[in-house]
Structures are given as structure tokens and as C-alpha cells.
A and B are shown apart, each in its own frame.
Chain A
Amino acid sequence: MKRMGLFICHCGTNIADTVDVEGLAKKFTSYPGIMFSTTYKYMCSHPGQELISKSIKEHKLDGVIVAACSPTLHEMTFRKVTRTSGVNPYQCEIANIREQCSWVHTDRVKATEKAERIIRSIIEKVRLNEDLQPIKVDVTRKALVIGGGIAGIQAALDIADSGYPVVLVEMKSSIGGHMAQLSETFPTLDCSQCILTPKMVEVASHPNIELLTYSEVKKIDGYVGNFTVTIEAKAKGIDWELCTGCGKCSEVCPVSVPSEFERGLGKRSAIYTTFPQAVPNKPVIDSESCLKIKTGGCGLCEKECDVGAINFSREFTYREEEVGAVVVATGYELYPILNISEYGGGEFEDVIDGLAFERLLSASGPTGGEIKRPSDGKVVEDIVFIQCAGSRDPEKHKPYCSRICCMYSTKQAMLFKHKVHHGQPYIFYIDIRSGGKGYEEFVERAQREDGVIYIRGKVSKLYRDNDKVKIVGVDTILNKPVEIEADLVVLAMAIIPSPGTEELTNILKVQTDENGFLQEIHPKLRPLESTTAGFYFAGCAQAPKDIPDAVSQASGTAVKVVSLFSGDYLQLEPTIATVDEDVCSGCRICISVCPYQAREFDEKKGIVRVNEALCESCGACVAACPSGASDQKNLTDKQISTMATAIIKEDEDG
């Protein structure tokens, strides 16, 4: 018979305030199979762990129940103690009496009763637990990084520098992401291109990085350590092997359409490179606007190309890559300005978003760095920045704070003042959030040195008044109405996950949160990992963040990937499905139920087998087996039913 020990944690007062832990420890001493039962203030602390270890040895325990916080927090901790005390770690289970009991109930008697039910059910589980060994599988030591913004670039470089090959997939024709669009960066006012482009070049020339731009991930199979990824390369219309990137084709192209990179403030041709410092610096043909593709005429670029690289091909190509880990760094987009009709978004030409203003500030932008109004090209004198356009507005738009807008609007106001000395910038804000190294000082400087006027209050009305935009609001500090006639209004739009994130997360089978950002496994202790093993996050795809945070997160992610690759093999959870060969009738219903092709039919024996490396332990096959031949290790049918009975029976006694 199993000799079990029960260790109940007070968790300071978190559990002990609501649950009578001492009473429970006493009551359970007489429970069948419980040889020892005790409580401790903090079971996860070093003395708490020592207590468990000592008790295991002293009472010759071979089953351990720790009644404490959620297993997502300390299951690993207590299983490790169990292992180092000479007992198989899978003989240790957690009874969650904090998150699912003491924190959500107030009646001490009822909460104690519930804690007792929870502990009983876990004791019944441990009673039937078997000793298990982790399943060892090989790992493909190659990483896939999705997204070539600053986060993806940093993650790819760090992994590649550690000696492992990386495939970097970028949807656009060049890497660089939104950072390539920025003029200068806060709080140091470094030129964004100057710090970014060397890294972009390093990616392209790194011997361990294979760069696949204008490509998307379309399919992924396998499991942590062993993924097979299908990557689609979109039709470029140009043979990049032959193209020298001379740029003559773009010069002769007669088509002129709004440039996405310039946020519609500038034009591009139908055959174009995203921006002058693009990596790779090769053009693609936009089939929507190319005259040759649309009408069969034109073909000027083809005649101009010395190397004959232009083929107008519309053929998509596909390739498969074997990788062991995936970094998702798909970045952000701004909440569409059209959605903010209350601020004239999309209606007034002189109301633009933050990224568009970056292009006006940029020396390589559509105006060569001069701050001119989009409507008539007049130099801007009075400029208004409106914060929280779509952020912190749960009723109509997004509930969260987009985190970087206070800082970038401050930077933009400052840079504007540096360019138009007689101009006046105003910032309408709710609060100024300047948490970050050197950030508060930066805001101070904007006020003191550059005379940026901060007005606390929301804009109530915005309308066209001759060639100006009239802004009506209230200064809630002075308690006075404010009216400003502005030449240009810049909306600090909310940050949202980049388009295509939803589709990609469905392909990858990784979870997102209620706002569509990637969902980490633990917000504090495991912020880089997906709930699906083998997937890691970096940058704004996980939540809005600034460049230093995106880069730090990317480097952290790289370490996670490298540590996954550094072992001789991976250890997978052994709580998988099993088949009793003597009972299996070979009906193969389980094969149709398994989503991972982890079940194979053995023709010779007429039975089904489980592929240990492919089984993900969902247990759907066990429930589907009509002959009772299938079961799940350490979550057997018998265990589930005794756990349920333990919950119900306890009520009958009490």
C-alpha cells in the first residue's frame, strides 16, 4: 500500500486566513494511506522544502501531496524535492487550495470543507500514480524566427551568434519593421536608421541566418524540438538571384501609388523597394498596380533591366524547413485612424497618426524632413498631439494603455520644435506615463527647454475651420476651456497586434489574450514562452512595448531557444496514452480521434500503438476507446472516477 504524506502550506496568511490548515492536517492523519500530515508557513521556501525532504525519508513516503498554490506555480518545485529525496517525481501532486479556494471564498467553514474535498481528490490520484520517466526525444537544433522587426532581428542574431542556424521569415520584402520608419528614438534622439540598419546588414550577412523575406508561414506540424514548417514565398515578379538592386526599374516605372512605408504621404512605383536602405535591397512588383500584369502593356522596367531579372512571374513557391523552436515576433500595427471618426480620422487630411508624423520628421521621408501639412504643403506652425486615441477607452475602442505614446509624442513635439523654431506644439493627455530609464527627465526637458505645452484633458470636439483644424477641449488642471487652431493634428493611435497575427496564431496553435496579443504562460515568471511548448515571443506581438524592452525580450527569448538546443535530448511529459495490447480489438476509432497522428495500426498484431514522441496527452483517444483498452498514464479512468467519488463522498460525511 502506498505511504503518502500531506504537506499543507499556510502561504503566509493567504491560505491560513480562510482555510483551517491545522484542523485539516489533524483530520487527514486518520485518512487511509496518509502516514504523515503537517503544515508550514511557506512550503515553497528552503525550510519548507527541507521539511518535505526530511519527512519523505523519515516516514518512508512514496507519495507526496502538497496543498498550496496552483500547480502552474510550484508543481516543478515540489516534484524536484520529491526526486532529490529519492522518490519518483510523478508521485508528487499539488492540491490547489489557494487560487481555487482560499482566494475566492470568504466563509472559513465552507472554504475549509472545499479545501478538504480538493485534498481528498488529489490523495486519491496519488494513491494510483505510477512511477514514470520523462520521454527522451531528439531535437532539431535550428530556430525559426517569424517577423523581421527589431525584436525578430535581435532574437535571430543572438541565436545565430550562439552557433545555431536560424531561418528568419519576414512578410514584407525587407526586414526592419516599424523601427525603419522612425525618425529618431527617445530618450536619446538617436537616428533610428543609424542604429537599425547595421543590424539589418548583419542579419543578411550572418553565416548562420537564412533570410526569407516576402514570405509567410503557412503550416506547421510536429512538436517541441521537431517542427516541420511550410513557408510560402510570395511572387516577386523578379528573379532576385539575377537582380543587382540597381534601382533603374523603379525610376522608369510610370505608375505612382500611395506608399505604405510613407503611410500614404508619399508615392511609390509599381516595381519598388520598400525604402532606400532595404535589406535585401531588391525590388518586388505589386501586381495590383503593375500595368504589364494588369493590361499586358508597358514593360518599361523589363527593357531597362540590364541583367534580365524581371519576369513578371506570379508564381508562389513553397518550401519545408525542419526546426526545433519558433520565435514569434510579428510586431504591431496602429489602430486604424478611420476608426476614430470623432477626431476626424480619415476625414481631414491634416489629421494623421503617429507613424505618419515620423515620416514627416524623417530626413528620408516624403517631405525630406520638412514639416509640411499634407493638405496644402504649408509649413506647420501650431501642432496638436492627442494622446490615448483609441487606448484606455474600454467603451468605444481598446481598454489598455499602449505604453509608448506618451514618450513618442513628447519626442515628436521636441523634434518638431527643433525643426520649426517659431512653431508651438501642444499635447493633450490623460496622464503622462514616463516610466523608463531617462524617460521622466526627457519629458521634463521637453517642457523646460522646448516649451512643449501639456494640456491635461480630452479633446471634446475637432472640426475644420478654413484651412485650420479647430480643437476644443478642457484643461482639467486650470479648469478652463481651451481652443486651439492647429495646422496639423497627430493622433497617438492605440497599438494593436499586426494584421495577420490571428491567422498565424491559428496556424501555430498558440493562444492569444482578449486583445489579440500573444498569451504568455505566466505573466511574471515565464513571460517569454507560449502555453504551447517550443514557441517563444518577442516584441510588440506579446504586448505594446518600446525598443529597449523589445530588444531585451528578444535576447531573453534567444536564451530560451539556445537552452532548449543545448541539451543532448529533450524531455517530454510521460503522462501519455497507452494501449493494453491484450484488450485492443484493432477497431482503430482512436486513430481517427487523434489530432497528432500519434496512433498507428500494427498490421501484424492487429492492434494500435501509441507513438510516444507524438502523443500530446490530451486523452481524447482514451475516452473514445470502446473496449477500454486505452488509458492515460497517471490520469487513468480509475483515477478520474476515484477523484470524483472523493469529492462527492466528503460532502456526505460532512
Chain B
Amino acid sequence: MNNFEPRIVCFVCKWCTYAGADLAGTSRLKHKPSTTNIRLMCSSRLSIEQIIETFREGADGVLIGGCHPGDCHYINGNYKTLKRIMLMHSILKDFGIEPHRLRLEWISANEGKRYAELIDEFIEEIRASGPLKLNEACGFSEKKIPINE
């Protein structure tokens, strides 16, 4: 058994996926503890740069959770997210990141069970892929180049 403990950041929207995660909690649906949620108002708040930066900072996987198509609290924010993630999937390889490390899922406020199952599934998938070796893949030096400053 692989002991690697992946570092996974989940960016989730307040209305659907965060509420779905809360429902998993109130329903006591156990899942693995390797992920941590960051609550955004909408998945469309997340820019491409922020996703890349999260990988660069050392995340082994990034999960983005939004409302199901048609259910977005902000009318169509999830479609904007979908477009961005499709774009990301086509360019991630060039950054030395396997596209499956970035995952987009629609999880509604009543899908606590689905949330718990998906989190477990994603953790196992990233665990099987091993740590992201971004520096080796891109030939980065140990010192990280800050984007923000």
C-alpha cells in the first residue's frame, strides 16, 4: 500500500458543493481527510492563474466543485468554469501537470453522498499518481518564482 499522503485543495462554491460537503457532515458520511475546502461564492471566481499557482505551490491535486449545469446560483457561472477547465486540460501538460490532477465536478447541495464518494475517489486517484514533481518536469530550480510580486 502506497503511504503517500496527497495534498489536495478543493475550491468549492458556497451554494452547491460547500453545502453538499456540509450535508455529508450532517449525515456523518465518512471520507478520507486529505482534502481541504476553500469556499468561494461561485466556481467562476477562480482564475486560470490561481489554479496554476496552487499546483506550483505544491498541491498534488485540485478539485473544483460547482452547481450542476442549469442550477448555478449565478445563472451561468458554472459554464464559465467549465470553459476555463476545458482550456486548462488542454494546456496543463505543457506545465508538466497531468490533466487528471485538475478535476471539475458538479455537486449539488443535496448530494452529500456523492461529495463523500467523489472525495475518496479523487484522493485515491491522486495517491496512485504519486506526488506532482513540477520542478523536475519543468526544470524549475528549488527557489520558486513568485507570480504575485
What residues of chain A have their CB less than 8 Å away from a CB belonging to chain B? 70-72, 96, 98-101, 103-107, 110-111, 113-114, 117-118, 121, 506, 509, 511, 513-514, 519, 531-532, 575, 593, 595-596, 616-620, 622-624, 632, 635, 637-638, 640-641, 643-645, 647-649, 651-652
Known: A623-B46, A644-B9. 18 other contacts (CB 8 A): A70-B22, A96-B22, A99-B24, A99-B25, A104-B33, A509-B73, A509-B75, A511-B15, A511-B71, A511-B73, A595-B76, A617-B41, A619-B40, A620-B45, A623-B44, A623-B47, A643-B38, A649-B58
Give the total number of A-B pairs whose CB atoms are below 8 A apart.
145
Contact A519 B30 (CB under 8 A): no
The stretch from B49-57, B89-97, B99-107 touching chain A is B49-57
Do A638 and B148 touch (CB < 8 A)? yes
A595 to B44, CA, bound (A): 12
Q: In the complex the two chains form, is B58's CB within 8 Å of A648's CB?
A: yes
CB atoms of B38 and A637 under 8 A apart: no
Q: What residues on A are CB-neighbors of B70 within 8 Å?
A: 506
Question: Which interface residue of B7, B30, B41 has the most chain A CB atoms within 10 A?
Answer: B41
Contact B44 A618 (CB under 8 A): yes
What would be 14 A-B contacts, judged by CB atoms less than 8 Å apart? A101-B33, A105-B30, A105-B32, A114-B34, A511-B71, A519-B109, A632-B41, A640-B50, A641-B50, A641-B148, A644-B38, A644-B50, A649-B57, A652-B58
Q: Assess the B110–A618 pair: CB atoms within 8 A.
A: no
- A16 smallest CB distance to B (angstroms): 16
Nearest Cβ in chain A — how far from B107, in angstroms? 13
B residues less than 8 Å from A513 (CB atoms): 110
Query: A618 and B42: CB pair below 8 A?
Result: yes
Across the interface, name the chain B residue whose C-beta is closest to A575: B41
* Cβ-defined contact, B36 with A647, below 8 A: yes
Please, which residue of chain A has its CB at the minimum distance from the CB of B19? A72
Q: In whole angstroms, what is the CA distance A104 to B113 when docked?
A: 11
B54-A648 in contact (CB<8A): yes
Chain A residues closer than 8 Å to B47, beta-carbon distance:
622-624, 637
- A532: chain B residues at CB < 8 Å are 73
Q: Let me know if B21 and A99 touch, CB within 8 A.
A: yes
Task: Say yes or no for B26: interface residue by CB 8 A criterion.
Answer: yes
| In the complex, chain A residues whose CB is within 8 Å of the CB of B34 | 114
User: For the complex, is B28 an interface residue (Cβ under 8 Å from A)?
Assistant: yes
Q: Are A641 and B53 in contact (CB under 8 A)?
A: yes
Contact with A along B42-83 (1 / 0, CB 8 A): 101111101001100111000000000011011111001000
Contact pick for A651, options B7, B15, B29, B75, CB 8 Å:
B7
Tell me the bound Cα distance from A511 to B19 in angstroms: 12
- Complex Cα–Cα for A596 and B44 (A): 14
Query: Which of A99, A103, A513, A632 has the most CB atoms of chain B within a 10 A radius of its CB?
Result: A99
Q: Is the CB of B9 within 8 A of A100?
A: no
What CA separation (Å) do A96 and B14 show in the bound complex?
Answer: 13
Contact B77 A595 (CB under 8 A): yes
Q: Flag whether B98 is at the interface (Cβ < 8 A).
A: no
- Given the interface pairs A111-B33, A616-B74, A623-B47, the reply to whether A100 lies near B25 with Cβ below 8 Å is yes
State how many angstroms separate the Cβ of A50 from the closest Cβ of chain B. 27
**Of A101, A113, A593, A640, most B-chain CB atoms within 10 Å:** A640
Query: Any chain A CB within 8 A of the CB of B135?
Result: no
A70 — nearest CB in chain B belongs to which residue?
A: B22
Q: Which residue of B lies closest to A505 (CB)?
A: B71
**Interface core residue of A96, A616, A619 (most chain B CB under 10 Å):** A619
Residues of B within 8 A of A98 (CB): 25
Q: Does B37 belong to the interface (CB within 8 Å)? A: yes
- Asked if B126 lies at the interface with its beta carbon under 8 angstroms from chain A, I say no
How far is B75's CA from A435's CA once the two chains are assembled, in angstroms? 40
Chain A residues, Cβ within 8 Å of B116: 104
Partner of A647, one of B7, B25, B53: B7
The CA of A644 and the CA of B80, in the complex, are separated in Å by 21
Does B31 make an interface contact (CB < 8 A)? Answer: yes
Q: Answer yes or no: B125 CB below 8 A from chain A CBs.
A: no
Whether B121 sits at the interface, judged by CB under 8 Å, is no
Contact between chains at A121 and B36 (CB < 8 Å):
yes
Sorted nearest first, the 8 A-B pairs with minimum C-beta distance are: A99-B25, A619-B45, A618-B74, A620-B44, A623-B47, A618-B42, A595-B75, A103-B25
> Are B45 and A531 closer than 8 Å at their CB atoms?
no
CA distance A224 to B7 in the complex (A): 40
A114 lies within 8 A of B36 (CB): yes
Closest Cβ neighbor of A113 among chain B residues:
B33
B75: chain A residues within 8 A (beta carbon): 509, 595
Q: Is there an interface contact between B38 and A618, defined as CB atoms closer than 8 Å?
A: no
A165 to chain B, nearest CB (A): 29
Q: A72-B19, A519-B110 are in contact. Are A104 and B45 (CB under 8 A)?
A: no
A641 CB, min distance to chain B CBs, angstroms: 6
A118 to B80, CA, bound (A): 27
CB nearest to B35 among chain A residues: A114
A643: nearest chain-B partner, CB-CB = B38
Nearest neighbor of B71 in chain A, beta-carbon distance: A511
Name the one of B25, B31, B46 contacting A640, with C-beta atoms under 8 angstroms.
Answer: B46
Are the C-beta atoms of B9 and A648 separated by less than 8 Å?
A: yes
Q: Which residues of chain B are within 8 angstroms of A70 by Cβ–Cβ distance?
A: 22, 25
| Candidates B29, B45, B58; contact of A623 at CB < 8 Å | B45
Does B53 lie within 8 Å of A644, measured CB to CB?
yes
A107 in contact with B38 given A100-B22, A640-B50, A644-B59 (CB within 8 Å): no
Measured in the bound complex, the distance between the Cα atoms of B11 and A558 in whole Å is 37
Query: Judging by beta carbons under 8 Å apart, are B77 and A620 in contact?
Result: yes
